[in-house]
């Protein structure tokens, strides 16, 4: 299978803790493994971006500094600021460690950054965190694909539906939206069929819960495929690479029916 064409992909958590950063960095690793020539993970979560923390790779230069350049930001500046995550085969642009640098970033400041990133890398994965603000909304509107990560629980499903409604009101083509169900387990309150039914959209990828492997990856600042290449979680992430394709990806289902309060 050949690598997908050059594109920009935004990854958004339906709510906090669904796993946008986890998916963004591990998807970048899978894209590299499948032969994408150049890949950038751009941390656009100006609240508390975690890409550098997940990979134990804080940068001397960060996205906040690039934003200060305004319209003058270009691909050369981004390349000079990006840091190699050599083991994964991709580069990252991180948020500052110092939270006193937090600022409200608007669409006007974000668009030049996105354009420079698209020009400089074959694949750009934008980690939007769980916030919808002018910066992340600009990224989602500019992206070729938007991956919305949710977990099998009512708050995440409710927020995923709210995001979908927002896109509809903004006139965004919802065919660009790909839903990824993360942290699937037998104890989940919602099963996959129920999530798809309530969303009115297919799930394009499914990722099982594996707290032990995730904890090890977090502790070592590494990707899942490097700490547990034979795990079910690693297999799910390899399959998730296909979420950039048109067809949904089937996976074994954990059967358990449950009705949402508003569907009764």
CATH of the domain at 84: 3.40.50.300
Residue 153: inside a domain: yes
* Burial per residue of 226-253, b for 16 or more beta-carbon CB atoms within 10 angstroms, e otherwise: ebbeebebbbbbbbbbbbbeeebbebee
Question: Is the per-residue pLDDT at 264 higher than 60?
Answer: no
Distance CA 169, CA 165 (A): 6
* Number of domain units in the chain: 1
Average pLDDT over residues 191-210: 92
pLDDT of amino acid 260: 33
pLDDT of amino acid 245: 59
| Distant-in-sequence, close-in-space partners of 112: CB < 8 Å, separation ≥ 6 | 70, 71, 73
Residue 1: inside a domain: no
Distance CA 193, CA 121 (A): 37
Answer with the residue of higher pLDDT: 230 or 2. Answer: 230
Q: How far apart are the first and last CA of the chain?
A: 44
pLDDT of amino acid 109: 87
Question: Which of the four pLDDT bands, split at 50, 70 and 90, describes residue 243?
Answer: low
Q: How much of the chain is in helix, strand and coil states, percent to nearest 5?
A: 45, 15, 40
| H or E segment to which residue 234 belongs | helix 232-240
Distance CA 151, CA 113 (A): 30
Answer with the residue of higher pLDDT: 97 or 120. Answer: 120
Adjacency order of strands within the sheet including 145-150? 83-85, 90-93, 39-43, 123-127, 7-13, 145-150, 177-184, 203-208
pLDDT of amino acid 7: 86
pLDDT of amino acid 184: 93
pLDDT digits (tens, 9 = 90+) for 79-96: 999 999 988 899 999 988
3-state DSSP assignment of residue 169: helix
Distance CA 224, CA 231 (A): 9
Question: Which of the four pLDDT bands, split at 50, 70 and 90, describes residue 203?
Answer: very high
Answer with the residue of higher pLDDT: 141 or 6. Answer: 141
Residue 171: inside a domain: yes
Question: Is the per-residue pLDDT at 257 higher than 90?
Answer: no
3-state DSSP assignment of residue 249: coil
The closest alpha carbon to 26, from 7, 51, 1, belongs to: 51
pLDDT of amino acid 103: 67
Residue 2: inside a domain: no
pLDDT of amino acid 97: 80
Question: Is the per-residue pLDDT at 149 higher than 90?
Answer: yes
The closest alpha carbon to 129, from 51, 245, 234, belongs to: 51
Residue 137: inside a domain: yes
pLDDT of amino acid 26: 95
pLDDT digits (tens, 9 = 90+) for 212-239: 999 999 999 999 999 999 999 999 998 8
Average pLDDT over residues 129-150: 92
The 3 state secondary structure assigned to 18-35 is CCHHHHHHHHHHHHHHCC
Contact between 173 and 145 under an 8 Å Cβ cutoff? The reply is no
Question: Which of the four pLDDT bands, split at 50, 70 and 90, describes residue 186?
Answer: confident
Average pLDDT over residues 20-38: 91
pLDDT of amino acid 173: 80
Distance CA 252, CA 36 (A): 28
How much of the chain, in percent, has pLDDT values that exceed 70?
88
Average pLDDT over residues 108-115: 90
Specify the range with the lowest mean pLDDT, choosing from 4-8, 172-176, 210-214, 246-250: 246-250
Question: Is the per-residue pLDDT at 152 higher than 70?
Answer: yes
Residue 215: inside a domain: yes
Q: Compute the half-sphere exposure of residue 78: CA atoms within 13 Å on the CB side of its CA.
A: 26
Question: Is the per-residue pLDDT at 158 higher than 70?
Answer: yes
Residue 237: inside a domain: yes
Domain enclosing residue 236, as ranges = 7-263
């Amino acid at each position: 299978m050949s690598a997908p064409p050059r594109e920009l992909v935004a990854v958004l958590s339906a709510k906090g803790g669904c796993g946008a950063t986890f998916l963004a960095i591990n998807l970048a690793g899978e894209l590299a493994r499948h032969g994408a020539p150049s890949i950038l993970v751009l941390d656009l979560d100006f609240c508390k971006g975690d890409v550098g923390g997940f990979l134990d790779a804080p940068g001397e230069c960060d996205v906040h500094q690039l934003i200060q350049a305004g319209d003058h930001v270009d691909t050369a500046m981004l390349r000079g600021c990006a840091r190699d995550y050599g083991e994964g085969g991709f580069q990252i642009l991180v948020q500052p460690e110092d939270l006193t640098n937090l600022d409200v970033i608007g669409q006007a400041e974000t668009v030049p950054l996105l354009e420079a990133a698209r020009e400089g890398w074959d694949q750009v994965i934008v980690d939007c965190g769980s916030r919808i603000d002018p910066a992340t909304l600009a990224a989602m509107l500019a992206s070729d694909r938007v991956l919305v990560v949710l977990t099998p629980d009512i708050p995440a499903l409710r927020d995923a539906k709210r995001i979908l409604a927002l896109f509809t009101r903004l006139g965004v083509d919802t065919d660009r939206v790909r839903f990824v169900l993360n942290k699937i387990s037998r104890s989940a309150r919602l099963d996959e069929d129920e999530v798809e039914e309530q969303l009115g959209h297919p799930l394009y990828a499914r990722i099982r819960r594996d707290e032990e492997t995730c904890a090890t990856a977090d502790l070592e600042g590494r990707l899942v495929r490097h700490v547990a290449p034979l795990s079910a979680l690693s297999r799910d992430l390899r399959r998730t690479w296909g979420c950039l394709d048109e067809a949904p990806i089937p996976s074994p289902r954990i059967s358990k029916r449950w009705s949402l309060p508003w569907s009764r």
